[in-house]
Amino acid sequence: MIIKIILIALLIYMIVNLFLAMRIMMKGNPKGEPMSKYIGRRVLTSVIIVTLILIAFATGLITPNPRPY
């Protein structure tokens, strides 16, 4: 159960970084914070999420749904 909570928290963090990058993009201030900082965090978070899912499948912490046929 804890792995699912961690994955949900990481997904929320990824979405927050997406909106922070959008806010900087909409401001258009060239001397402000770089948008790539937030996009990089988003990419790193997605890599961590995929890695955690693969490890959880391999160790049996989460199981996929059975096939419908």
Render the burial of 38-60: b for 16+ CB within 10 Å, e for the rest: bbebbeebeeebeebeeebeeee
- CA Rg value for the chain: 16
Residue type (1 letter), 11: L
Predicted confidence (pLDDT) per residue in 2-55, tens digit: 999 999 999 999 999 999 989 988 887 878 778 888 889 999 999 999 999 999
Task: Determine the Cα–Cα distance for residues 66 and 69; give it in Å rounded to an integer.
Answer: 9
> What residue ranges do the domains of the chain occupy?
1-14+33-61
Helix axis angle, 35-59 to 2-27, nearest 10°:
160
Query: What's the pLDDT at 36?
Result: 86
